[in-house]
Amino acid sequence: MTEIDRRVRRTRGNLSYALLELMVEKGYDAITIQDLLDRANVGRTTFYDHYRDKDDLLVEGLKNLRSFLREHQRAAIARTGPLRDRALGFSLAMFEHAGEQRALFRAIVGRRAGTIVMQHVRRMFQELVRDDLAALGVRGTEVPVEAIVEFAVGSLMSILMWWADLRSNVPDAAHADAMFRRLTIPGILAAVGR
């Protein structure tokens, strides 16, 4: 019931796809509404019927990534083992996913990506990490939990960005993830005193 009109699906789909293509080609910031319309074959009025602005369109696209990571996170938390293995359990999935679609990924999180995109991604990671630490019972004693969250997110973003922009001698996803964990987890353990 209340199925979405086929025309609406078509319009939205075309616009989302056009956005991704253009992000890869010229970077988010440089994309103009007119670019999107031309690429997606959609009228100007139509665009504004569906979205408030470019950002609005972007957010819709990021929802997929979010649910994907949430799923992997759940699995890792449910596992058994030491904290150092279970924490931030979505990271490998993130690196693997990124590795599969490097071009798109570079457009999302690479140097050229543009701030707004990064902000949304960052916010997404914050939620994930916060829930992760909470689920594992990590408590801030001397270092507040929020500081630990920010630390982990900053670290993840940095390594992802670095990795996404590498052009030669690119380590595979598993190695990149291992580096991230090796750099990040010790600090978390030190901060919570375990």
68 binding a copy of itself? (CB under 8 A):
no
Residues 6 or more apart whose CB falls under 8 angstroms from that of 171 comprise 163, 179
Which residue number, 45 or 169, has a Cβ lying nearer to DNA?
45
Cα(151)–Cα(148) distance, integer angstroms: 5
Positions in the binding site for DNA (CB under 7 A): 3, 5-8, 10-11, 32-34, 41-46, 48-50, 53-54
Distance CA 86, CA 7 (A): 45
Contacts of 133 (CB under 8 A, 6+ apart): 87, 145, 148, 149, 152
Nearer to a copy of itself, 77 or 143 (CB): 143
Contacts of 144 (CB under 8 A, 6+ apart): none
Shortest reach from residue 40's CB to a copy of itself, in Å: 26
Show the binding pattern over residues 101-140: x = contacts a copy of itself (CB under 8 A), - = does not. -------------xxx-xx---------------------
- Residue closer to a copy of itself by CB (options 18, 173) is 173
Residue 145 touches a copy of itself, criterion: CB under 8 A: no
